[in-house]
């Protein structure tokens, strides 16, 4: 974490490092295990302590993004996602509703009021998301101001904008048409398989879980992966000693990209790929 980041982002609770990887690199579970072995080797060479899990467990999530036909949320740097987690193939009895303002500028993300009318159900995260720059071995920041609500029994069809405004009052300040309808972006239902790979230690109490998420289309009789994302997330502790450890997490992220050069996929976020599908369909 550089000096500007540590002093100019007081709301940040997590720093989330993300690398999009080519989906064809993960055709089977064996490929995931081999990637974890490679990750352990790279971490050792870069001087970072990494402990792979004894046994990789995965969970399945059903993911959908919602927007108006004119992408009014996207144009306001907003994302609305509905996700259901399935443990051991069984669906949870609630849905995870996530609303976020994601922007390159900290002030833009911080300026969005994520308070909902579900005050007892909501959880908040303000993330600095670290993604790779134009060239491998580089890094840039975007900011994501998130509110998450666990909600049972929702209708995952079309949703009136007015209903979302009732849940997120700040939306009424953006000039959106309450009579518009939100629908699934690109009609895309995505299966997300997420696996916890291991744990990093960067020193001074700064640790991170390493995960890999693979997005795939629910196509009968075929496994059609769309993109993979490797990531790890550190908590911002607010201690004087953590600066060096957060800097080590930064340097590891940049150093990791070089031996993984042939694994890197184009693009920066999974969400952007779904919207790209929408643009191609249009």
Q: What is the mean pLDDT of residues 126-137?
A: 95
Percent pLDDT > 70 in the chain is 93
pLDDT at residue number 92: 77
With contact defined as beta carbons under 8 Å apart, do 238 and 13 qualify?
no
52-79 tens-digit pLDDT: 999 998 889 999 999 999 999 999 999 9
Whether the per-residue pLDDT at 6 is higher than 60: the answer is no
pLDDT at residue number 9: 64
Structure tokens at 170: 């700040």
CA neighbor of 60 nearest in space, from 192, 188, 150, 190? 192
Q: What is the mean pLDDT of residues 133-156?
A: 90
Of 97-101, 187-191, 244-248, the one with minimum mean pLDDT is 187-191
pLDDT at residue number 211: 97
Whether the per-residue pLDDT at 99 is higher than 50: the answer is yes
User: For the packed helices 29-45 and 242-257, what is the interaxial angle rounded to 10 degrees?
Assistant: 120
With contact defined as beta carbons under 8 Å apart, do 25 and 35 qualify?
yes
Q: What is the mean pLDDT of residues 195-216?
A: 96
Q: Long-range pairs for 168-173 at CB < 8 Å and ≥24 separation?
A: 168/99, 168/114, 168/115, 168/116, 168/117, 169/113, 169/115, 169/117, 170/112, 170/113, 170/114, 170/115
272-282 tens-digit pLDDT: 888 876 544 44
Q: What is the mean pLDDT of residues 169-190?
A: 93
11-53 tens-digit pLDDT: 899 999 999 999 999 988 999 999 999 999 999 999 999 999 9
3-state secondary structure the chain: CCHHHHHHCCCCCEEEEEEEECHHHCCCHHHHHHHHHHHHHHHHHCCCEEEECCCCCEEEEEEEEEECCCCHHHHCCEEEEEEEEEECCEECCCEEEEEEEEECCHHHHHCCCCCCCCCCCEEEEEEEEEEECCCCCCEEEEEEEEEEEEECCCCCCCEEHHHHHHHCHHHHHHCCCCCCEEEEHHHCCEEEEEEEEEEEECCCCCEEEEEEEEEEECCCCCCEEEEEEEEEEEECCCCCCHHHHHHHHHHHHHHHHCCCHHHECCCCCHHHHHHHHHHHHC
- Structural domains for the chain: 3-281 (2.40.320)
Q: What is the mean pLDDT of residues 80-86?
A: 89
CA neighbor of 282 nearest in space, from 29, 69, 11? 69
pLDDT at residue number 158: 83
Residue 128 vs residue 91, higher pLDDT: 128
pLDDT at residue number 152: 81
pLDDT at residue number 198: 98
**Residue 3 — pLDDT band, cuts 50, 70, 90?**
very low
Burial of 280 (0-12, 13-18, 19+ CB in 10 A): exposed
């Amino acid at each position: 974490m550089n000096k500007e980041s540590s002093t100019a982002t007081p709301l940040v609770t997590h720093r989330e490092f993300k690398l999009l990887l080519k989906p064809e690199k993960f055709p089977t579970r064996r490929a995931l295990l081999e990637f974890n072995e490679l990750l352990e080797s790279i971490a050792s060479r870069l001087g970072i302590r990494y402990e792979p899990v004894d046994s990789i467990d995965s969970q399945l999530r059903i993911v959908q993004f919602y927007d108006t036909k004119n992408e009014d949320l996207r144009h306001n740097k907003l994302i609305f996602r509905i996700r259901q987690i399935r443990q051991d193939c069984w669906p949870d009895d609630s849905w995870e509703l996530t609303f976020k303002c994601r922007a390159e500028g900290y002030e833009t993300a911080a300026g969005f009021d994520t308070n909902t009318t579900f005050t007892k159900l909501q959880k908040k995260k303000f993330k600095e998301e670290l993604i790779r720059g134009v060239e491998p071995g580089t890094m840039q920041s975007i900011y994501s101001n998130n509110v998450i609500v666990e909600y049972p029994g929702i209708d995952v069809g079309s949703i009136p904008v007015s209903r979302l405004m009732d849940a997120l009052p700040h939306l009424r300040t953006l000039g959106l048409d309450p009579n518009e309808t939100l629908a699934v972006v690109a009609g895309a239902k995505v299966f997300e398989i997420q696996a916890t790979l291991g744990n990093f230690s960067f020193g001074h109490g700064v640790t991170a879980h390493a995960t890999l998420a693979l997005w795939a289309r629910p196509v009968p009789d075929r496994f059609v992966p769309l993109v993979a994302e490797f990531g790890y997330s550190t908590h911002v502790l607010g201690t004087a000693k953590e600066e060096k450890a957060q800097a080590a997490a930064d340097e590891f992220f940049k150093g990791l990209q070089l031996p993984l050069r042939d694994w890197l996929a184009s693009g920066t976020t999974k969400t952007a790929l779904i919207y790209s599908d929408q643009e191609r369909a249009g």
